[in-house]
Amino acid sequence: MKVAAILAFLSLALSSCDWTNSMTSGGESRYLAAYGPAQQQDRAPTDPGAALPDDMSYWAGDGKTGAPLIKINRKQQKAYFYKGSELVGVSRISAGDEGHGTRAGTFKVTEKSRDHRSNLYGVFKEKGTDRVINDDVDTRKDKVPPGAYYVGAPMWNFLRFDGGIGMHTGYLPGYNASHGCVRMPDKMAKKFFDNAPLGTPVIVE
């Protein structure tokens, strides 16, 4: 009975847009937010609607040598890390949604930023109170209202590979949900970040 109740709850949660965009206690949009130690240092959020359990990722690349290569499979919603010809890591991902696709192609890592924040997507907060007044801001369309300020969405362990698109720590609801970036569990985003120097090839299929 308990199992059936849990499955029913998960089904309802995953079908609810309001749930996807609900707020964390730290004032970040859950749709955009990343979860990890870097974020916890400045706001220690709780997550009442946690991401799906990460039971599909692993890393076996420590101490291995060989030229790094990252492959991203959008259909499988997985990222693969190779050293030489050896597959040393697999991670669950959440790539771009229908309106913000992650495009296919062959790219290279052009920037690494451990504590990166988005300059396009984030939230508006009220000055003085830090109260969130808009939790789904697109700076290309939304202007900062009087008495407010902009806070970019956290994208820790950011590996830029296609214009403004990159891989980073992020919320994984179990389907394509990002604005084009490739979200990963924090532990895997750190491994990919630490093992992918500038120039690492990234193939998106």
* Residues taking part in catalysis: 168, 181
Quickly tell me which residue has 């290309």 as its tokens. 140
**Taking a C-beta distance cutoff of 8 angstroms, is the pair 157, 55 a contact?**
no
Kind of pairing, strands 165-169 and 148-154? unpaired
Quickly tell me which residue has 């919320």 as its tokens. 171
What φ, ψ does residue 13 adopt, rounded to 5°?
-65, -45
Q: How far apart are CA 78 and CA 66, in angstroms?
A: 21
